[in-house]
A and B are shown apart, each in its own frame.
Chain A
Amino acid sequence: MTTATLQAEPQPVARVARTYLNERTTIASWLLTTDHKRIALLYMVSITLFFLIGGAAATLMRLELLTPQGDLVASDTYNKLFTIHGVVMVWFFLIPSIPTVLGNFLLPMMIGARDVAFPKINLASWYLFMGGGAFAVFSILSGGVDTGWTFYTPYSSTYANGHVIAMATGIFIAGFGSIATGLNFIVTTHKMRAPGMTWMKLPLFVWSLYTTSIILVLATPVLAITLALMALERAFGVGIFNPSLGGDPLLFQHLFWFYSHPAVYIMILPGMGVVSELITCFARKKIFGYQFVAAASVAIAVLGFLVWGHHMFVSSQSIYAGMIFSVLSFMVAIPSAIKVFNWTATLYKGSISFHTPMLYALGFIGLFTIGGLTGLFLASLAVDVHVHDTYFVIAHFHYIMVGGMVMAYLGALHFWWPKITGRMYPEWLAKLAALSIFAGFNLTFFPQFILGYLGMPRRYHVYAPEFQVLNVLSTAGASILALGYFLPLGYLLWSWKYGKIAGPNPWRATGLEWTTPSPPPKDNFDTTPIVTEGPYEYDPRATEAELRAAHA
């Protein structure tokens, strides 16, 4: 293993280099920074906090579900827990995760720019995010909300108790933060590329951020207006969605899913981008079918807008609409398939090493495939009638969102950690964490597929006793998972101070971001780079030859 590592010699640091971290150190210099790298770190800290809130809610939920009776918390509390969990995990953790942390940090560097196009708007987006977060936390602390993350009317607008309006306001505001980020990324990708950085030379991570941003910009405003209408209905009895005032509750669902289905691709595309980077780097091979992988991102972003009705197969929408949405849902799976197959093909004849980021990437492919394939079950009309709103759906999306996206996020953090901090994380501890997360994850969520087909509905605080065994397994897995998540939290912090010095390019990866010192200086590049090569000029044979030479 030691011989297999290809880390460059740590560079002796003669004098303290000027980096974006030590350039200025006052608190104000952080809170008022317009440097994309610092904003990325602000986001990193914030979403970690939100992940802990969402994770704490999940922990309590899993504990409650150990027994079929509701003995740990009351029904209302349980309902608030899954609402908090869903809202926080989706809008305050997973949607911002890779785009705002790694996207902010890397996008300008990857295309050879000094910053994003609108640095002040970038900072503003963080404040919007935190403002929205403040509303959400307020509504949690002052009693919570019990509508589920989907806020279906007329329950949310008329019958629910709790601070629905505060929560909706929080999401509304945070949504504008998302829009600002998306707008920034789109313009940055279009206008800030270094000379020679053509579209066909863009790293696939940039492609994925770009397509994600398109969704952010075109879908989020619909969520904003939908939640605003719901809040108005709740506050003033405006009857848009209220059947007793002549409204149609399904209109809310149409509007909500018009946003929320594309939003699931906001949650997976950046992960796919990360995996494309990791697979190539650790297999030392050019990606197989670059153009197809890039085009698949675009296809997912566009087709993703055409399938929202698959969440409404049994909602009493027209059966003909159901059929259209079903066939389109199958079609949106094709670009995902293209990606999976191309990643697999990339491994062929590579020179593969298994550092922690690669473990996460491989985990992503496996778990995303399972999650995606079960999405096909859900897209099949007759089967969805049975499994809709059961734990089958819960398992489906956790496989993609936790097994896929959270893995990709952790993989990306480990991969770019040396760039962000200038330090290496401890490899063995990190591998241990990756493996326990993988094992814990499967133990938590695999049983839920079975539970779902058995018919256990979701959002159930008490359940039929015959479901208990599988639930106990799931809770056991969740404990392992929780421990697995705490490890990186600890050792990454530790390594910031005590980790090995990493040097500019510990992975010997291609990509402009690796041509800068670690951590990078404030303006990233001394001179604007000129790009002549494609993004993945790796050569597995050269790597092998070097390795043999080192041995001899």
Chain B
Amino acid sequence: MPEIALAPVEHQFENAEQQREAATMGMWVFLATEALFFGGMFLGYTAYRTYYPEAFAEASRHTLVAFGSINTAVLLISSTVMAFAVRAARMNRRGLLSILLLVTASLGTAFLVIKGFEYAREISEGLLPGPKFHIETSDPVHAEMFFYLYWLMTGVHALHVTIGVALIGFFALRAWLFDAFRDHDTPIDLLGLYWHFVDVVWVFLFPLIYLAGRHS
């Protein structure tokens, strides 16, 4: 993530405008790299799903669509709150900013907790690939492939959520204690971009994982 400027304008920049534009652009470039980082796994998923659609559909039916849907809603709402937080920062409303950030972070935490329950259930049902993996389907080999990809993709995503929650919490604290973002809202802007990106990734993960085989 581009660094968070503490001094209003660092020595290499001419003015604050240039500094903000540079930081915003840096963040977008970073998000492009993130997209391709996830992209590698998406390619794996797409390739195997086109080859083994039945196995993937059956395996997908073993996931908990209710949990997944709730989690999607949680993330979407947290994104909305984050958008308001960015707005609060721009308006220099420190109290509102820290509260909104805290709400966002709590929603993120809720997402992780729900995901944690899901993981626990899947482990107990033998859906964690490995020696104990067990699934009642006609093509267990590729059902297991689905679950490799499931754990990888949601795992890497959850890691991103965790990082996001930690950062948001930390920023909330700084906003509250030091009023760190008065007239200097770029860091919050960037944080928001990151959080929305994590949300977008999930928006694509959700149908691929939970909805692949619902209709049959």
Contact = CB atoms under 8 A, between A and B. Distances in A.
Q: Do chains A and B touch in the complex (CB under 8 A)?
A: yes
B14 A221 contact: no
Contacts of B48: 247-248
A237 B130 contact: yes
Contacts, number: 110
B11 A121 contact: no
A224 B29 CA distance: 17
A191 B18 contact: yes
A221 B152 contact: no
A119 B37 contact: no
A115 B11 contact: yes
B126 interface: no
Contacts of B11: 114-115, 523
A236 interface: yes
B26 interface: yes
B40 A246 contact: no
Given A117-B12, A121-B2, A246-B141, A255 B43 contact: yes
B29 A217 contact: yes
Interface string A37-57: 000000000000000000000
Interface residues of B, number: 38
Interface in A206-230: 217-222, 224-226, 229
Given A114-B11, A187-B29, A245 B41 contact: no
A221 B26 contact: no
A217 B145 contact: no
Contact of B36 (A115, A120, A121, A218): A218
Nearest to B30: A183
Given A121-B2, A238-B152, A240-B149, A251 B47 contact: yes
A424 interface: no
A145 interface: no
Given A222-B39, A226-B40, A239-B129, A119 B33 contact: no
Contacts of B25: 186-187, 190-191
A191 B33 contact: no
Nearest to A176: B33
B2 A192 contact: no
B33 A221 contact: yes
A121 B3 contact: yes
Contacts of B36: 218-219, 221-222
9 pairs of A and B residues whose beta carbons are closest in the complex: A225-B40, A115-B12, A221-B37, A246-B141, A191-B22, A221-B36, A221-B33, A117-B22, A114-B12
25 contacts: A114-B11, A117-B26, A118-B3, A120-B3, A121-B2, A179-B33, A183-B26, A186-B25, A186-B29, A187-B25, A190-B22, A190-B25, A191-B25, A221-B36, A221-B39, A221-B40, A222-B36, A222-B37, A240-B145, A246-B142, A247-B48, A248-B47, A248-B48, A251-B43, A251-B47
Interface of B: 2-3, 10-14, 18, 21-22, 25-26, 29-30, 32-34, 36-41, 43-44, 47-48, 51-52, 129-130, 141-142, 144-145, 148-149, 152
